[in-house]
Amino acid sequence: MKKAIVVGASSGIGEELSRILSESGYVLGLAARRVELLNKLSADLPNKSFVKQIDLTSPDTAMRNMSDLIDDLDGVDLVVIVSGTGEVNPQLQWSLEHICIATNVVGFAAIANVAMNYFLEKKSGHLVGISSIAAVRGARYAPAYNASKSFVSNYLEGLRQKAKNAKYAITVTEIMPGYVNSDMAKGQKLFWMASINKAATQIYRAIKNKKSHAYVTKRWRLIAWLIKVLPAGIYNRF
């Protein structure tokens, strides 16, 4: 029986991906801050699942709870870290910057660290992290968010390199979504907005195919390339 943990399973992409994984035969560990939503989801899934509260803003506790959840499942094959936060922050309020960094950088790294150390000991496994198109370059309207997602991208690349150097059967997948119709989508007139189901389905396909990198939806690859090659003088006008 395949076993997976989804961190951030209480809503949005994490909830939908959990449903897809359960329907595909996975026994699940469901983790997030809002346990009441996890319990509701767990009761609705076709396969067995375990619930554990994990709050990325409390990294030490989150790491212990993540280890406990792995033990609850008696081991795990796949860990997907969906949890994240971000706000449009044109006034550069430190409270918004701080919670974004605490969640997307420190919290993400803490959970990825537990998962990767487990997989290195096991010598196999699959770690998936949700980055963003925002990781490509900085942005004045959300400095911490874009920077935090760049951290996610680079951290996952480092873990992937570590796994390859160890010559273990460990896959590290980075998912870079564009706009998805979830609570994380901020602003007006957002284009190429994907439904939660479409995004989760494409993420599941990338997991099945053991991709090292995937854009969601696929056409965001073009936007990422354009953002990378734009001269600073032009990019800074946006």
Q: 98-144, pLDDT tens digit by residue? A: 999 999 999 999 999 999 999 999 999 999 999 999 999 999 999 99
Task: Determine the CATH number of domain 3-235.
Answer: 3.40.50.720
Query: Are the beta carbons of 46 and 20 closer than 8 angstroms?
Result: no
Over 60: is that where the pLDDT of 212 sits? yes
Among left, alpha and beta (phi > 0; psi -120 to 50; other), residue 75 is left
Residue 179: the pLDDT is 85
Q: 221-233, pLDDT tens digit by residue? A: 888 788 877 787 7
192 pLDDT tier (thresholds 50, 70, 90): low
Q: 33-72, pLDDT tens digit by residue? A: 999 999 999 999 999 999 999 999 999 999 999 999 999 9
> How far is the C-alpha of 153 from the C-alpha of 172, rounded, in Å?
11
Query: Are the beta carbons of 75 and 122 closer than 8 angstroms?
Result: yes
Cα separations in angstroms, 179 against 81, 101, 124, 159, 199: 18, 20, 32, 26, 9
Question: Structural domain boundaries of the chain?
Answer: 3-235
Residue 191: the pLDDT is 57
